[in-house]
Amino acid sequence: MLAAERRKIILEKVHEEKKVIVSELSKEFEVSEETIRRDLEKLADEGHIIKSYGGAVINEIGSIDLPFNIRWKSNAVGKQKIAELVSQEIKEGEHIFLDASTTAVFIAKNIKQKSNLTVITNSIEILLELADVNGWNIMDTGGTLKGDSMSLVGKKACDQIEKYNADKVFLSCKGIDTVKGVTEGNDEIGSIKQSMIASSAKVYLTVDSSKFDKIAFSSICPFSKIDVVITDKKPDIKWLELFRKHQIECRYPKL
């Protein structure tokens, strides 16, 4: 196995289990503990993990963009619940933005039975997912390909987005905080979301419960810009009170 492939598996494991142990990884991959330590050193230098005694733990800071395939696996059950709720919000004939989040891919999969939609997205994965849908108008934003997130970004993409007037935008984020608002890992991705918000009549924040009380590097918008929050389980009372204060509807699965 190549070192790059081994590090990719280790990164997936640390995001699933929140920590890894050098001795256990050494046995699993049948390599020396020193080799595993070098792998962890590389992942730590990239900002994905924090080395600890005998292993490593996940880096929760939220400023590092993870590869799409790893983000896809994170809380997949929660994202599916969100997508099912979002499907109820989308009506025939609407024009919608979908961002390049993994949650938006779940949404795309769940709305394929609808008719006569216009979907504008900067997500390569969503373009591929909807390629076989008939009777829709599927539009990409153009821009520069960002391979790790499978997205189109940059000024060209933002300029194209701002030419449209969509009914709704469904976007995710890296974190939401009661003081800092909605945040993302970097300005490049954040700018796309800001353009989508500015070009939409109604803004939906589709955010799974793991993103609450987290702050990422770049601010997207304050809560005053959000109309609806859709999440995978009932938020804490402080969040429900904040949403009421800002007149934000909050939707989550009812037991």
> What string of DSSP letters covers 20-80?
EEHHHHHHHHTS-HHHHHHHHHHHHHTTSEEEETTEEEE--S--SPPPHHHHHHTTHHHHH
- Per-residue confidence (pLDDT) for residue 63, from 0 to 100: 45
- pTM for this prediction: 0.80
What span, in angstroms and rounded, lies between the C-alpha atoms of 231 and 75? 12
- Per-residue confidence (pLDDT) for residue 28, from 0 to 100: 92
Q: Where are the domains of the chain?
A: 3-59, 69-251
Residue with tokens 């004939």: 93
CATH number of 69-251: 3.40.50.1360
Per-10-residue mean pLDDT of the chain, 255 residues long, equals 85 81 92 92 83 83 53 72 96 97 94 96 96 96 89 97 98 95 93 98 95 93 98 97 98 89
What span, in angstroms and rounded, lies between the C-alpha atoms of 255 and 242? 23
Angstrom distances, CA of residue 4 to CA of 8, 10, 37, 97, 147: 6, 10, 14, 35, 16
What span, in angstroms and rounded, lies between the C-alpha atoms of 90 and 191? 24
- Per-residue confidence (pLDDT) for residue 32, from 0 to 100: 93
- Per-residue confidence (pLDDT) for residue 232, from 0 to 100: 96
CATH number of 3-59: 1.10.10.10
Q: Is 59 exposed, middle or buried (0-12, 13-18, 19+ CB in 10 A)?
A: middle
- Per-residue confidence (pLDDT) for residue 46, from 0 to 100: 75
Are the beta carbons of 173 and 203 closer than 8 angstroms? Answer: no
- Per-residue confidence (pLDDT) for residue 47, from 0 to 100: 75
**Which amino acid does the sequence have at 28?**
E
- Per-residue confidence (pLDDT) for residue 252, from 0 to 100: 97
- Per-residue confidence (pLDDT) for residue 223, from 0 to 100: 97
